[in-house]
């Protein structure tokens, strides 16, 4: 099968028929073998009934319905598990992603051997203040933090090799960082393609300004997990040791200073009257706690059942 097209959606009944017709036209024009998987993330309108109608008339159409709204990441995770195509395309259901871009993305995966190709909506029709400027800031921070040179992490229109989606786990709200997850899993050939952005035709957006706040928090999480997720002692142990040494040296200086003043019959104060003593003590305690946090993290990683320590891409005669 050439293509699996995954479409996560929430209350998009107005756009589904037009989107479905458009996708089928592109598939037939290019003679692709395909499946279209609609991922209904707990819609409260007639979206699921429409999807059932598509499936009854076209065996290539499939659907997954969640009992309630779990989020786009969970919808994509379920779709990735079911996808059978050599190339997986993800796109939104609001008609802002054009199905006409599918052949170009497919060719970049099959002909140019990219592991993942992300769409770049270079010209957008969104509000400049509400979406464009925050999006540019978000993408800049994501590039600098992750090392993945993409201009539009938020674009829902992406193409993947099948092996990529089978070796990454999308959870929380990490869907916008799938290229980073792919890179961390060992898939380094990540490309970008300028795609057409269309103004929303029906309904209203399901995402507000909070998605940028959540996005930055998720960015910190994925940065930490990619750098120290397999070796927490390297972060917490180093920070803890440094803080403990600083606190120990400071406490030692306070003690030696008092002994020096006592030996030379000079005026001195009690150690407990010196505020720096308590700063030194707090620094040593915090350092010890950080070191123990790293140590416990290492123990958890080594005792956790079914922990994936590495992934094998190819085997011969085994």
> What pairs with residue 194 in β-bridges?
120
Which of these three, 228, 257, 274, is where a domain ends?
228
Residues 216 and 275 in one domain: no
What local confidence, expressed as pLDDT, does residue 317 receive? Answer: 43
| Beta strands per DSSP E along 42-103 | 61-65, 87-90
What local confidence, expressed as pLDDT, does residue 102 receive? Answer: 96
- Asked, for residue 200, whether it belongs to a domain, the answer is yes
What local confidence, expressed as pLDDT, does residue 206 receive? Answer: 57
- Asked, for residue 39, whether it belongs to a domain, the answer is yes
Q: Worst-scoring range by mean pLDDT, 39-43, 53-57, 265-269? A: 265-269
What local confidence, expressed as pLDDT, does residue 159 receive? Answer: 97
DSSP 3-state assignment of 190?
Answer: strand
- Asked, for residue 312, whether it belongs to a domain, the answer is no
Query: What band does 2 get if pLDDT is binned at 50, 70 and 90?
Result: very high
Share of the chain above pLDDT 70, in %: 89
Summarize pLDDT for 211-234 with one digit per residue, the tens.
667 777 777 877 777 777 778 888
DSSP state of 153: T
Nearest-angstrom CA–CA distance, 239 and 290: 7
Report whether pLDDT(182) > 70: yes
Residues 238 and 222 in one domain: no
- Asked, for residue 282, whether it belongs to a domain, the answer is yes
Nearest-angstrom CA–CA distance, 100 and 117: 15
* CA 314 to each of CA 179, 260, 293, 318: distance values in angstroms, whole numbers, following the listed order: 21, 68, 36, 10
Residues 178 and 277 in one domain: no
Which of these three, 169, 201, 228, is where a domain ends?
228
**Token pair for 212:** 């940028």
Arithmetic mean of pLDDT, 195-201: 78
Nearest-angstrom CA–CA distance, 1 and 32: 8
Q: Worst-scoring range by mean pLDDT, 46-50, 119-123, 251-255, 298-302? A: 298-302
Residues 39 and 182 in one domain: yes
Report whether pLDDT(316) > 50: no
Residues 156 and 267 in one domain: no
SS (H, E, C) 28-52: HHCCCCEEEEEEECCCCCCHHHHHH
Domain interval for residue 130? 3-228
Which of these three, 228, 255, 287, is where a domain ends?
228
Q: Considering its fold, how many domains does the chain have in total? A: 2
Share of the chain above pLDDT 90, in %: 51
């Amino acid at each position: 099968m050439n293509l699996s097209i995954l479409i996560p959606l929430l209350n998009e009944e107005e756009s589904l028929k037009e989107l479905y017709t458009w996708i089928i036209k592109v598939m037939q024009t290019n003679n692709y073998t395909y499946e279209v998987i609609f991922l209904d993330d707990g819609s409260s309108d007639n979206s699921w009934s429409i999807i059932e109608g598509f499936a009854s008339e076209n065996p290539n159409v499939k659907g997954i319905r969640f009992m309630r709204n779990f989020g786009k990441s969970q919808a994509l995770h379920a779709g990735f598990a079911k996808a059978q195509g050599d190339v997986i395309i993800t796109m939104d259901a609001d008609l802002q992603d054009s199905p006409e871009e599918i052949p170009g993305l497919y060719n970049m995966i099959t002909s140019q051997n990219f592991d993942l190709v992300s769409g770049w909506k270079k010209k957008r029709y969104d509000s400049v203040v509400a979406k464009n400027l925050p999006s540019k800031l978000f993408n800049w921070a994501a590039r600098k933090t992750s090392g993945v040179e993409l201009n539009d992490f938020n674009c829902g229109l992406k193409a993947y090799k099948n092996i990529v989606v089978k070796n990454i786990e999308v959870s929380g709200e990490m869907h916008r960082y799938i290229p980073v997850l792919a890179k961390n899993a060992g898939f380094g050939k990540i490309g970008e393609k300028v795609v057409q952005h269309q103004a929303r035709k029906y309904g209203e957006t399901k995402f507000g300004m909070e998605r940028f706040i959540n996005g930055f928090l998720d960015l910190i999480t994925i940065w930490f997990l990619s750098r120290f997720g397999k070796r927490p002692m390297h972060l917490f142990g180093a920070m803890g040791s440094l803080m403990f040494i600083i606190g120990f040296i400071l406490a030692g200086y306070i003690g030696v200073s008092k002994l020096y003043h006592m030996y030379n019959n000079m005026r001195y104060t009690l150690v407990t009257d010196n505020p720096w003593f308590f700063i030194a003590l707090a620094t040593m305690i915090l350092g010890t706690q950080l070191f123990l946090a790293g140590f416990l993290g290492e123990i958890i990683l080594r005792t956790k059942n079914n922990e994936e320590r590495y992934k094998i891409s190819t085997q011969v005669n085994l």
